[in-house]
Chain A
Amino acid sequence: QKEVEQNSGPLSVPEGAIASLNCTYSDRGSQSFFWYRQYSGKSPELIMSIYSNGDKEDGRFTAQLNKASQYVSLLIRDSQPSDSATYLCAVRAGGTSYGKLTFGQGTILTVHP
């Protein structure tokens, strides 16, 4: 069973702090990794994708991938109340055709003023 696990939440951080969201996956052959943000009652929105080891930065967001440790993370710098949402980690396993993704259960993030 290919699994994606995220750190249990909810996670609460003060405004301006760094929020750290973590995800591990079981299939060593996984090739593509994604972070989605989902506001309550809305659909998931793609915010970051990463395909090779290392860091990828986009504005206040940094995705980090370590394939040897089967670990992917999302850092949100200068967290804002508007970042309060559920964050979903998704993984495309190696050999998976047609772009099928496996999603984690999500981590609820609350940024308090």
Chain B
Amino acid sequence: DVKVTQSSRYLVKRTGEKVFLECVQDMDHENMFWYRQDPGLGLRLIYFSYDVKMKEKGDIPEGYSVSREKKERFSLILESASTNQTSMYLCASTESGRYTYEQYFGPGTRLTVT
């Protein structure tokens, strides 16, 4: 079974802090994704990565950056957290080169910025 883990289930940070959210997958997947999910807005793609050190912006990259130094690990960074970044953050991964492209999600991190 695919396993995607995220570093924290709940996180509370102060405005202006630098925040790191980490995601690890154990299935040797090439592609990894960061989403945020907010009531009424659905799942929105922040960034994704298709290989080590390779990344592309999603639909809402402003205020975020990412890092992928190892294939299994994809980090989301909030350089200076703001209250409008309070949200549920979800990481997902999928294999590349296959027709299926089934995405598997981690448990999520509920981030509160005060």
Contact = CB atoms under 8 A, between A and B. Distances in A.
B101 A42 contact: no
Nearest to A96: B101
Interface in A76-113: 88, 90, 92, 97-101, 103-106
Contacts of A17: none
Nearest to A49: B102
Interface in B28-78: 30-31, 33, 40, 42-43, 45, 48, 50, 56
A98 B103 contact: no
Contacts of A51: 99-100
Interface stretch (B13-21, B79-87, B104-112): B104-112
Contacts of A42: 107-108
Contacts of A90: 103
A106 B101 CA distance: 20
Given A43-B90, A44-B90, A99 B43 contact: no
Interface centre among B31, B40, B96, B100 (most CB of A within 10 A): B100
Interface size class of A (residues with CB under 8 A): 20 to 34
B31 A98 contact: yes
Contact of B96 (A31, A45, A99, A106): A99
Contacts of B56: 98
Interface of B: 30-31, 33, 40, 42-43, 45, 48, 50, 56, 90, 94-96, 99-108
Interface of A: 31-32, 34, 36, 42-46, 49, 51, 88, 90, 92, 97-101, 103-106
Given A34-B102, A46-B103, A98-B31, 5 more contacts: A92-B101, A99-B96, A100-B48, A101-B103, A103-B43
